[in-house]
Structure 1
Amino acid sequence: MSAVQERMPVLYLSHGAPPLADDPVWPGELAAWSAALPRPAAVLVVSAHWEEAPLALGATGTVPLVHDFWGFPERYYRVTYEAPGAPALAESVRKLLRAPGTPVQDVPDRGLDHGAYVPLVEMYPEADVPVLQISLPTLDPVRLMETGRRLAPLRDEGVLIVGSGFFTHNLAALRHGGVPAWSAEFDDWGRRALESGDVDALLDFTRKSPAGPLAHPRTEHFAPLFVAMGAADAAGDLCLGKSVIDGFWMGLAKRSVQFG
């Protein structure tokens, strides 16, 4: 990867389900966000929908998408997103993350899952930006922040690091109509924690937030935030976080954040 002048920001976005494409507002919000960003040389995505240890690198060529969802209309399974692979980025990631006792594995046939391609279809619809997806190697917030810190130099090579999750995520606790109190309370708490730079509270969100265990009965949809925070923290941008998208979708908080 060759160096560029402009350091790329880091994103945490709420990625939506396949029907995101039919929402009257959200696709435009994602498109406007990407239009306001510097043009990336490549995108590195860590998605809530790929947990694998040791950390794994997905395909570095164009392979079929992973339609990792069930019960949707057939048209959602016909979606394609043939973005170029990013072998040079993959090599940079290997160099930054591989160390004694910390292996990095390759899964060359693993395509982009919906946590990666659903938002990218809206942000870069021409599929002309190289994309690499990596796995979540752990759900431990502290270790994920360290992974993000080690990836931070990629920002100076024009790489857009994207943590893709959902700011609240508990499908089993949703009820028809309105926004559940637990989702609204967690979203407000998270907004304030991010604005104040309260890293300790965010790292311990299950105990320090209202309704934390209800908002995230598992950590996987909040976990990508910590990778993004680590990549921001390494460059001193953690205090520059701002919410770009907020509001709710089907009762879930779609808050999405930019650092830097």
Structure 2
Amino acid sequence: MAATAPSGRMPALYLGHGAPPLADDPVWPGELAAWSAELPRPTAILMISAHWEEAPLTLGATGTVPLVHDFWGFPEHYYQVRYAAPGAPHLADAVRKLLRSAGTPVQDFPDRGLDHGAYVPLVEMFPAADIPVLQISMPTLDPRELLGVGRRLAPLRDEGVLIVGSGFFTHNLSALRLPPGAGVPGWSAEFDDWGQRALEAQDVDALLDFEHKSPAGRLAHPRTEHFAPLFVTLGTAEASGDLDAGRSVIDGFWMGLAKRSVQFG
């Protein structure tokens, strides 16, 4: 990982964040670590996770507070994970300035730590926990509104901020394939292939209307929350003019779910 602050615009990412057992996967942690090694060192990281829906848009803790272990029924050691990254109060101020307006309030939740959609991938990508992190909520699951949020956040990339939408490219927990390696359901493979082609074509309109234009859209996403962070990332890329610089960095499947993760810029 680069040791100095970036001299140009930071990339914007959408990644599959995995469940807490991601750390035990034989392949995926290495893929995330290799990805971060190719990135310039951010001045700060702004996380938008599928696991925090709150309106109006809310800023999480700007100091180091305990993580949110927002999962149940896992072995105890997953609840012992810590990620004591510095808070990012200056980034919080910048986000308020970019997003707050007369019709768009922004609120604070100063005790809200990083949830597993944020810290699970960060542990693998930036294990030293020495980069300031701010998490913000998704105020809606409307793809078009989230695209607008991303557009307004785009200037942060020129200040060295790594904007990360954290979700899952397909996400249907009732259709998980257990044990791992048990195969990939057709709907997951079809949606992943369609999504890859839509991204390569820079077809934002198709992605916005994925429920109707994709194969098995509602099987791939019974709720939209794990696809929704992609639209924040797409909005930043669109506003920065680098939709054509998008690429898939990680692909493949985990328990039948597509872990496709993409980078713009």
The equivalent residue for 1:31 is 33
Taking every aligned residue pair, what percent have the same amino acid on both sides?
81
Work out which of the residue numbers 141, 165, 168 in structure 2 matches 1:166.
168
The equivalent residue for 2:258 is 253
The equivalent residue for 1:67 is 69
Contiguous gaps of at least 5 residues in structure 1:
none
1:1-260 aligned at under 5 Å gives the runs 5-176=7-178, 177-260=182-265
Residues 27-47 of structure 1, C-alpha deviations (whole Å, 9 max, x = no match)? 000000001001000000000
Tell me the TM-score normalised to structure 2 length.
0.96
Is the contact between residue 183 and residue 251 of structure 1 (CA under 8 Å) also seen in structure 2? yes
Q: Residue 240 of structure 2 aligns to a residue in which SS?
A: coil
- 2:203 and 2:152 map into 1 onto residues whose CA distance is 21
AA matched with 2:20: P
> How far did residue 4 of structure 1 move?
6.1
> How far did residue 238 of structure 1 move?
1.1
Is the contact between residue 4 and residue 156 of structure 1 (CA under 8 Å) also seen in structure 2? no
- 1:117 and 1:173 map into 2 onto residues whose CA distance is 25
AA matched with 2:258: A
- 1:213 and 1:152 map into 2 onto residues whose CA distance is 30
> How far did residue 239 of structure 1 move?
1.6
AA matched with 2:255: M
AA matched with 1:72: F
Q: Residue 60 of structure 1 aligns to a residue in which SS?
A: coil
AA matched with 2:147: M
> How far did residue 256 of structure 1 move?
0.1
> How far did residue 5 of structure 1 move?
3.0
Q: Residue 80 of structure 1 aligns to a residue in which SS?
A: coil
Residues 28-67 of structure 1, C-alpha deviations (whole Å, 9 max, x = no match)? 0000000100100000000000000000000000000000
AA matched with 1:250: M
AA matched with 1:254: K
Q: Residue 163 of structure 1 aligns to a residue in which SS?
A: strand
> How far did residue 166 of structure 1 move?
0.2
AA matched with 2:233: A
- 1:70 and 1:241 map into 2 onto residues whose CA distance is 35
Q: Which runs of 4+ in 1 moved over 3 A?
A: none
